Chain A
């Protein structure tokens, strides 16, 4: 219902209030991930397209399309909504253009903190922040007299207690699907243990150590408290588990809180669903989570006129006070005028606790890929933690050699 209302409000007030971008020419074609906040963002930018041609592709497979589509000249898309990790391949291949001139010319309402600068050049404009944090079922925890967990050790203890009580068999959930999701959980937990993925100043891997082993052991403990099918569960699947009332503690993206807390599903579960910051682990003081930004980048292989039009339309959304007020529930906006609501607790707590951003390194994608496939056998109990980490490093080194990083 709320979604429809927001959309209606946009329809009613949007066009008349924001039709002053005055874009006369050019064509705009945007590639973006598919979740509600990004849809809102793109819709807002569409309001000021003027007479420019406007197209958008929302796809959860955006990562697979981006590099080939932007490599073509002229490229298919004039803009790509990227994040910390997905901007890296674009940078590696030199596919996006610096935005300094455009920011000076048209970026009036954009705050300095929104600018992603690399080597002094603005390469992206961020508009929202994201992280993975804890969700809990207030009713279940209260019934059993469990305090809100602050560390993963407490999450394990709480889950064991819930299981012992017979209320739920698999009280914990996180997106452990083999591949990107599982690797992301490792990245979070490893950073929570204070780990560094590479030896300083080089692309040599640095995960086969005590911190890596502790990370794997914690992941394993959590997986044992999860649904046995955890290796096939992505964010969407655990959201469904949660809404079916099978789970009392969960690590999930902040950007999903909107759909989790909407009017669909069992109202009792929705009412008892509460958000808190990300947990720490192993006595560390920074959370076992990574901070993410979502922002827009402009394709290099596209005429300047298109870049101009695209930037103006997107900058309109990236500095839109009305959008962040209307859609305050959908995301933690980095745009001026955003008043954090109850659904933003996760990200705000993470920032307060000093969470680190996801490492924006050229070779990080290879490490992430190696993690996603090589730690599975450890979780299945088929090999030791040391062996799994050795495999990750070996797989990474082969790939990094082929890509010329080592």
Chain B
């Protein structure tokens, strides 16, 4: 496509992207450098049906004047980024100096909200992404081998987990693993431990969420792989069969190299999706045991009665940076291949 045609073709999309994605990200970035003005409080008498007390309220007159003068708030620089609820620079230095063993240091760091969330998010990505790729590929291969007649219904059944709304899917599983649910009660019987609960143990909660993630994301990988498998040329495969190559050898040397670009694509999308894991935590009510970066943002925006815009903005920016770092190796590799291909 000539560059000029491409430009006009891409312009509407590009504009929409700048308007709805680019600008909000810039605005979030700016917000992350600001904190609220110092609150001006005053002591007043408060009376309610249960009696009167003297306590403090925010002095609205003074506050609104300060706010009008500087609506963005107080410039805080990287203050929000480095505070305890985010990167916790000072705390980490302190732990490093105070703790005796490396294990104790890791324990301490693991207790900070941002790192706790980061570790869960990375663990989730590391377990879910490869398994999704593997499972998706195996399902695609098996379905590609069954008779055409039953393929349609089978494909529909396979992509069901993707059709089900994530929240509903996780709720269904949540009820099943309840200590009185069908899975939960059976596991208790099997292990002969009436106090065993999938929901109260941190490790088991993590495993549940990861299994749910694999179940939910595999259909996407499957659909893309299945489509890619249809483009694999039959001639080399037939030739390989004649040469006596086993099924495994055919897949390894012909099919995989052929669909390799698609694998990269699915890996990229899957990594991005998994890094933003959120719904299962809400669906499984797993806030106590598992927190992800997206959940931290949500928590800052809605769980407090006071909305922490600065905190939420800082975590958002760091999530974007995190995704960029995760994707960098794959992107660099694709870019290099693209260059050599030219």
B113–A373 CB distance below 8 A = yes
* Contact mask for chain A residues 102-116; partner B; CB cutoff 8 A; 1 contact, 0 none: 000000000001111
Contact of A228 with B46 at beta-carbon distance under 8 Å, contacts A362-B39, A398-B83, A403-B39 already known = no
Output the nearest chain B residue to A178 by Cβ-Cβ distance: B288
Output the nearest chain A residue to B311 by Cβ-Cβ distance: A402
* Contact mask for chain A residues 211-238; partner B; CB cutoff 8 A; 1 contact, 0 none: 0000000000000000111111000000
Q: Which residues of the partner chain B approach A199 to less than 8 Å between Cβ atoms?
A: none
Q: Say yes or no: is A397 at the interface (Cβ < 8 Å to chain B).
A: yes
Q: Which residues of the partner chain A approach B289 to less than 8 Å between Cβ atoms?
A: 231, 376, 380
* Contact mask for chain B residues 134-178; partner A; CB cutoff 8 A; 1 contact, 0 none: 000000000000000000000000000000000000000010001
Q: Which residues of the partner chain B approach A356 to less than 8 Å between Cβ atoms?
A: 50
Interface size class, chain B: 35 or more
B202 to chain A, nearest CB (A): 6
Task: Give chain B interface residues in 266-313, CB to chain A under 8 Å.
Answer: 284-289, 291, 299, 302-308, 310-311
Q: Which of B18-26, B57-65, B213-221, B332-340 is near enough to bind chain A?
A: B57-65
A293 to B45, CA, bound (A): 17
Q: Which residues of the partner chain B approach A293 to less than 8 Å between Cβ atoms?
A: 48-50
Task: Give chain A interface residues in 378-406, CB to chain B under 8 Å.
Answer: 380, 382-383, 387, 391, 394-395, 397-399, 401-405
Q: Which residues of the partner chain A approach B307 to less than 8 Å between Cβ atoms?
A: 67
Q: Say yes or no: is B316 at the interface (Cβ < 8 Å to chain A).
A: no
Contact of A229 with B178 at beta-carbon distance under 8 Å, contacts A84-B48, A119-B44, A361-B55 already known = yes
Q: Say yes or no: is A20 at the interface (Cβ < 8 Å to chain B).
A: no
Task: Give chain B interface residues in 1-57, CB to chain A under 8 Å.
Answer: 35-39, 41-51, 55-57
Q: Say yes or no: is B97 at the interface (Cβ < 8 Å to chain A).
A: no
Output the nearest chain B residue to A241 by Cβ-Cβ distance: B180
Contact of A232 with B36 at beta-carbon distance under 8 Å, contacts A369-B304, A402-B311 already known = no
Q: Say yes or no: is A151 at the interface (Cβ < 8 Å to chain B).
A: no
Contact of A397 with B84 at beta-carbon distance under 8 Å, contacts A88-B305, A229-B197 already known = yes
A291–B57 CB distance below 8 A = no
Q: Say yes or no: is A129 at the interface (Cβ < 8 Å to chain B).
A: yes
A116 to B44, CA, bound (A): 13
Q: Say yes or no: is B195 at the interface (Cβ < 8 Å to chain A).
A: yes
A120–B45 CB distance below 8 A = yes
B299–A398 CB distance below 8 A = no
A372 to B299, CA, bound (A): 11
Contact of A228 with B39 at beta-carbon distance under 8 Å, contacts A373-B287, A395-B85 already known = no
A72 to chain B, nearest CB (A): 14
Q: Say yes or no: is B80 at the interface (Cβ < 8 Å to chain A).
A: yes
Contact of A89 with B306 at beta-carbon distance under 8 Å, contacts A179-B287, A399-B311 already known = yes
A402 to B315, CA, bound (A): 14
Task: Give chain A interface residues in 342-387, CB to chain B under 8 Å.
Answer: 351, 355-357, 359-363, 365-366, 368-369, 372-373, 376-377, 380, 382-383, 387
Q: Say yes or no: is A2 at the interface (Cβ < 8 Å to chain B).
A: no
Output the nearest chain A residue to B301 by Cβ-Cβ distance: A64
A128 to B148, CA, bound (A): 66
Q: Which residues of the partner chain B approach A178 to less than 8 Å between Cβ atoms?
A: 285, 287-288
Q: Which of A129, A179, A366, A402 neighbours the largest number of chain B CB atoms within 10 Å of its CB? A: A402
Q: Which residues of the partner chain B approach A366 to less than 8 Å between Cβ atoms?
A: 304, 306
B306–A372 CB distance below 8 A = no
Output the nearest chain A residue to B61 by Cβ-Cβ distance: A94
Q: Which residues of the partner chain B approach A89 to less than 8 Å between Cβ atoms?
A: 305-306
Output the nearest chain B residue to A128 by Cβ-Cβ distance: B49
Q: Say yes or no: is A126 at the interface (Cβ < 8 Å to chain B).
A: yes
Choice from B64, B91, B303 contacting A179 with Cβ under 8 Å: B303
Q: Say yes or no: is B111 at the interface (Cβ < 8 Å to chain A).
A: yes
In the complex, the 9 A-B pairs of residues with the closest C-beta atoms, listed nearest first: A365-B305, A178-B288, A228-B197, A119-B44, A369-B304, A232-B285, A94-B60, A404-B36, A231-B288
| Residues of B that sit less than 8 Å from A by CB | 35-39, 41-51, 55-58, 60, 63-64, 74, 76, 80, 83-85, 91, 111, 113, 174, 178-179, 194-197, 199-200, 202, 284-289, 291, 299, 302-308, 310-311
Given contacts A120-B45, A231-B289, A362-B41, 6 further A-B contacts (CB under 8 A): A89-B305, A179-B287, A229-B197, A231-B288, A232-B174, A383-B111
